[in-house]
Amino acid sequence: MKHHATDAHTLAAAYALGALDDAERRDFDAHLGSCEACRQEAAEFQATTARLAAAVSRTPPAAAKAQVMAAIDGVRQLPPRIPAPSQAPVLGGILRRRAVPLALAAGVAAVALGSMAVWQTQNGQDLQREARQARQQLDAVSAVLAAPDARTVHGKAANGALTTVVSSDQQDMAVFTAAGLPAPGAGKTYQLWLDHGGTMRPAGLIDRDGTVILTGNPADAGAVGLTLEPTGGSPRPTTDPLLLMTLPA
């Protein structure tokens, strides 16, 4: 599928996620040589995908490989599903138009569901509860990323952390991702805020790189803030904001 030069700027997410064919990737590589905005956007999408996946990933138990290898012989291998020629162009167009939310959601799902498949082979109510919680978080994050009105904004905190917020009025939710977040220090945590007409309302805590779902309704919020607060959080900010990201209208 050929793209005009004016379309190249829309392919940064698909490029970062390896969703372009060989010809498109070569064309976009050439485009990156002269477009600083696309180079930065592609790098941000790669970082965001990695952080979202890492947020729900778990180290598999030592016995996992042996269990998988032992089960392979009993699993039936199915042939690949090949779409009818008349369906392929339509599907390809849909995927490219929604490359950002669908590809990010798929990246999170692949890691999280793979980890949960290992957990569910183990005994113990604690592991099963963790799996259910991870699945619920994954479902909520995926719903925001895949929402047709999903909006994405990137920022950089005063401490150097790279941040991304994806919000959806339709889902009444927003997802916050941080990469390169320094340790908050003893007795401290990072707290998120939603700015409603100048009033900062608590929106959750984060103390390490990863992804959290903001508490509260982001629909009427004008910005997302980040401050360093005492462990457990504060009812209102007690320090200067490390970050104040204006949300897109």
- What is the rounded distance in angstroms from the CA atom of residue 133 to the CA atom of residue 131? 5
pTM check: above 0.85: no
Q: What is the pLDDT of residue 90?
A: 43
71-93 per-residue burial string, b: 16 or more CB within 10 A, e: under 16: eeeeeeeeeeeeeeeeeeeeeee
Q: What is the pLDDT of residue 208?
A: 87
The DSSP string of 155-184 is EE-TTS-EEEEEEETTTTEEEEEEESPPP-
- What is the rounded distance in angstroms from the CA atom of residue 141 to the CA atom of residue 81? 28
Q: What is the pLDDT of residue 156?
A: 92
Q: Can you state the angle between helices 22-32 and 36-56, rounded to 10 degrees?
A: 120
Q: What is the pLDDT of residue 38?
A: 81
Q: What is the pLDDT of residue 231?
A: 94
Look up residue 165 and give its two tokens: 């917020």
Give every residue of the chain whose pLDDT is below 70, as ranges.
Answer: 1-7, 9, 17, 46-65, 67-128, 130-131
- What is the rounded distance in angstroms from the CA atom of residue 177 to the CA atom of residue 190? 13
> Which residues, other chains included, contact 249 with Cβ-Cβ below 8 Å and sequence gap of 6+?
none
